[in-house]
Chain A
Amino acid sequence: MEEQLKIDFEKLLENSNFSKKNVEIKRKSFNNFIEKGFPNRRQENWKFSDLNQIISKNIKNLSFYNDLSKPNKIDQSIFIDSLEHNKIVFINGRIEKIEFDYEEKNKIEILDDLVLEKPNNNNNSLIFLNNAFVCKYFKLIVKKNYSLKKPLFIYNITNKDLVSKSINLKVDVLLEENSYLKLVELSNDKSVTNFININYNFDVQKNSILKNYKIDNNSNSNIKYYFNNINQDTNSVVEVFLLSSGSEFIKNEINCCLNGKYASAFVNGVFILNKSKHHEIKTNINHLAEYTKSYQLIKGVLEDNSKAVYQGKIFVNSKAQKTDGYQLSKAILLNDNTEFNTKPELEIYADDVKCSHGSASGNLNENLIFYLQTRGLNYQEAKKLLINGFLLDVVEKITDSEIKKLIKNIMSLKQ
């Protein structure tokens, strides 16, 4: 693979006109990646999901260069029409549409082709890979005191033409003071066996609110890695909801730093897996200031040979007194060959804190099924009702009612 990487990297530099500074950083990142390679299970972070193995098992002849010069046709049918929204559309890693029809134009700014940041001393080789191969680096800025009237949907679409490619996207979102953004990411994949590596960087300033809903619902054979870095200032609120269900493999990594007092983060997620899918959610919540709060709830329903992994960490700095941290993960294993691995971790250096975590996994409670059967439901219906209730618990945590409704529809949950 190394040979292929080198060829593709040179091809990319040849065919694009990056600034000199960017080329330099890209080269550095590239060398860094070559040195480290794809992460494998020997790294603590990837202990339960050996990406190196998963990629070599699922993708044959992975190539890294993508010709982005030709525009793609947008298939209108994939847009959600039940609610009005702003759109950003990526097709096969190329940006095709930016549409903020409902907003004041001067309150939103989109920058592209930014200078890449120098890779800091990080062990995550996929960030280096992203840095090396990303074509356009976008930044979305929501100006001070502005609340978006409608949610913003980012559509991540891949079509049939894309086979065994690697897509790298990098998006920064800056919420200036007192601003408000609802961001929904939807993916729709018709492509087969690609490796998609997306880097998000959220900067949430004082008193701002970010609601981020990531929906991976339609079945596909792609391998995905999402890295979300969130920085929160005083009194900011971040809500993340993950629906992890469609792709063959997906790892959602959330690294959240609560830098300002009274900042709070809510991370909720749902795994609904079947076949041989293997999904992971990794969170890293860093409490770095006083009176910060975090809440995490992850639930999973696993069928067939699927495997889910949750690695959640709460870190509390010695300055972060009065921290409130909570974390709960639960899974229902419906088949014998399913697997649920968790590592709920607490690392605490302050004494006046309230931190707890819980984790449970097992099968559906037969007594509950029996109870429902005595009320006239058949076995399958009873099972379905119980799973419905189990998952609804997480979806109900979504604070935006419109989007909650949408997600319930997507998940076909009943009220």
Chain B
Amino acid sequence: MREKEIAKLKDYKYGFATDIESIKAPKGLNKEIIKFISEAKKEPKWMLDWRMKAYERLKNLKEPNWQKPKYPKIDYQDIYYYSAPKSVSEKPKNLDELDPKLLETYKKLGIPLQEQQRLNGIAVDAVFDSVSVATTFKDKLNDVGVIFCSISEAIQKHPGLVKKYIGSVIPLTDHYFATLNSAVFTDGSFVYIPPGVKCPMELSTYFRINASQTGQFERTLIIADKGSYVSYLEGCTAPMRDENQLHAANVELVALDDAEIKYSTVQNWYPGDKDGKGGIYNFVTKRGLCKGVNSKISWTQVETGSAITWKYPSCVLKGDNSSGEFYSIAITNNHQKADTGTKMIHLGKNTKSKIISKGISAGFSDMTYRGLVDISLKAKNSRNYTQCDSLLMGNKCGAHTVPYIKNKNSESNIAHEATTSKISEDQLHYCQQRGLNPEEAVGLIVNGFCKEVLQQLPMEFAVEAQKLVGISLEGSVG
């Protein structure tokens, strides 16, 4: 039995569950639960009203069903919407007060919060189930005026900022999962970079779903004020469980004049076992608004986990001369399914966007790139370049490309390219001739295929992502 467990863990090394006491709100979705969440977070009334508005709207909404990967009906009444480790019901003042079990968990995940406190590097906000448990490097960030904390804390301490920007990119009136999130979101990160500040370090959030039968509904809000710059990283893991868990996050980015936000994700939720049992449903809404002139938002994502990934990080290019970028690697193996891509909505003059998407499917998996490039009448002289390449390994998997391209402007240029192929025998043969075994050869070729995107990641993440690419494809050759 134990051996079996270990063998399982080998496939997904983050698959362990931490035995930690947690406080859960009762199962189900209703007004009481929303009140409970709001109270637990000590939220002001306007926030509760906002949640209630979302909930009222949700009642009349239907889940979208145009996506390629179909999933069994989710019973929204059978999910815990709030789960928090008991030991952090009163938020610890510093890391020394944190439950050692939690610290241990994050250490196992490769994010030793304490060490990072001492080393220079990345400021981390760790979110465990529904609450943010620790944020490192607070003082240093405070010195330059950067606010980096959990969103619950921000609602209490910086209500002006939150009130102004929350829902400004993903409004209450959005699609089903976004509205669900607006009603029941529990925690997430909040970042505010004051005018003219270049954030001195990478900011990072680590999300972990631990408790079973819970959904994670985090909300992240990043605001880059005039002339500022921030690079933000996000990582996610979950224990291995037989059931499917729902993850429906909302991420909103706002870039004002001359500001730049770089948002990187390495998504490695539990993908389910070899037969497609269990795994996370990753239905995330990510949207960035280039509100000011010359602003820039860049999304980079490495998607290797989740049973079903369904997300489209988007850029609304509203400010003149603003630009949006999207770099993505999506890898599906076994029975994983992904329907991912981006939306670039050009509204301002001289706006630019670039999309590089690399999809790799193996095993019985199915991968879809779905994207929208929409150049409106007013977006004079705007440009888009899209490239999406897919690699197929085996004839049981599928790779699909569904780009929507709308050009309403004669002064704009759009170019789109897509290819689908398999790894050529010639390349494999060449690598093997040079002494690599078939698996290494595939790894090398795949890494080359993904290089354009991997290069966009911050250094620390790039190494991890490269390894992840290799691990995700293990066993798919030969």
Contacts and interface: CB of A to CB of B under 8 A. Distances in A.
Interface of A: 44, 48, 318, 321, 331, 333-363
B409 A336 contact: yes
A346 B420 contact: yes
A363 B88 CA distance: 60
B421 A318 contact: no
Interface stretch (B165-173, B314-322, B330-338, B390-398): B390-398
B414 A351 contact: no
B277 interface: no
B470 to A, nearest CB: 20
19 contacts: A331-B407, A336-B411, A339-B407, A340-B405, A341-B407, A343-B403, A344-B403, A344-B416, A345-B401, A351-B422, A353-B392, A354-B420, A356-B420, A358-B415, A359-B416, A360-B413, A361-B414, A362-B407, A363-B411
B418 interface: yes
Given A341-B405, A343-B402, A357-B418, A333 B397 contact: no
A287 to B, nearest CB: 12
B377 interface: yes
Given A44-B66, A339-B406, A362 B414 contact: yes
B392 to A, nearest CB: 4
Contact of B417 (A333, A358, A361): A358
B354 interface: no
Contact of A318 (B396, B407, B412): B396
Contacts of A337: 377
B174 to A, nearest CB: 18
Nearest to A339: B408
B399 interface: yes
Contacts of A346: 390, 399-402, 418, 420
Interface in B345-391: 377, 390
Contact of B395 (A347, A349, A358): A349
A361 B396 CA distance: 35
Given A344-B403, A359-B415, A338 B392 contact: no
A359 to B, nearest CB: 4
B403 A321 contact: no
B405 A352 contact: no
B156 interface: no
B410 interface: yes
Contacts of B396: 318
B395 A350 contact: yes
A333 B407 contact: yes
A378 B413 CA distance: 25
A214 B392 CA distance: 37
Contacts of A351: 392-395, 397, 422
Contacts of B46: none
Given A353-B422, A357-B418, 10 more contacts: A336-B409, A344-B403, A346-B401, A346-B420, A348-B390, A348-B398, A348-B399, A350-B392, A362-B413, A363-B410
Contacts of A353: 392, 420-422
Contacts of B412: 362
B416 A358 contact: yes
Nearest to A338: B410
A345 B400 contact: yes
Contacts of B66: 44
Contact of B405 (A44, A349, A361): A361
A390 to B, nearest CB: 15
Contacts of A358: 415-418
Contact of A348 (B393, B405, B420): B420
A101 B397 CA distance: 53
Contact of B401 (A331, A350, A354, A357): A357
Interface of B: 66, 377, 390, 392-422
A359 B406 contact: no
B401 to A, nearest CB: 4
Contacts of B407: 331, 333, 339-341, 361-362
B387 to A, nearest CB: 10
A327 to B, nearest CB: 9
B403 A347 contact: no
Contacts of A48: 406
A361 B398 contact: no
Q: Which of B404, B406, B407, B421 has the most CB of A within 10 A?
A: B407
- Which 5 pairs between the two chains have the least Cβ-Cβ distance? A362-B413, A333-B410, A351-B392, A346-B401, A359-B416
B395 A333 contact: no
Given A341-B406, A355-B420, A347 B411 contact: no
B419 A360 contact: no
B158 to A, nearest CB: 42
Contact of B419 (A338, A343, A345, A355): A355
Contact of A359 (B409, B411, B414, B422): B414
A361 B414 CA distance: 5
A344 B418 contact: yes
A223 B263 CA distance: 48
Nearest to B393: A351
B409 A354 contact: no
Contacts of B377: 336-337
Contact of A356 (B400, B408, B410, B418): B418
Contacts of B409: 333, 336
Contacts of A343: 402-405
Contacts of A338: 408, 410
Contacts of A336: 377, 409-411
A164 B409 CA distance: 33
A361 B390 CA distance: 23
Nearest to A346: B401
A202 B420 CA distance: 29
A357 B415 CA distance: 11
Nearest to A347: B400
Contacts of A348: 390, 392, 398-400, 420
B445 to A, nearest CB: 14
Contact of A342 (B397, B401, B405, B421): B405
A338 B411 CA distance: 11
Contacts of A363: 410-411, 413
B473 to A, nearest CB: 14
A148 B452 CA distance: 54
A358 to B, nearest CB: 5
A244 to B, nearest CB: 18
A351 B406 CA distance: 30
A80 B395 CA distance: 50
A86 B67 CA distance: 48
Given A348-B392, A349-B395, A360 B402 contact: no
Given A344-B418, A345-B402, A355-B420, A361 B413 contact: yes
A331 B404 CA distance: 15
Given A331-B407, A345-B402, A354-B421, A360 B397 contact: no
Nearest to B398: A349
A386 to B, nearest CB: 14
A349 B420 CA distance: 11
Contacts of B401: 344-346, 357
Nearest to B386: A359
Nearest to B422: A351
Contacts of A356: 417-420
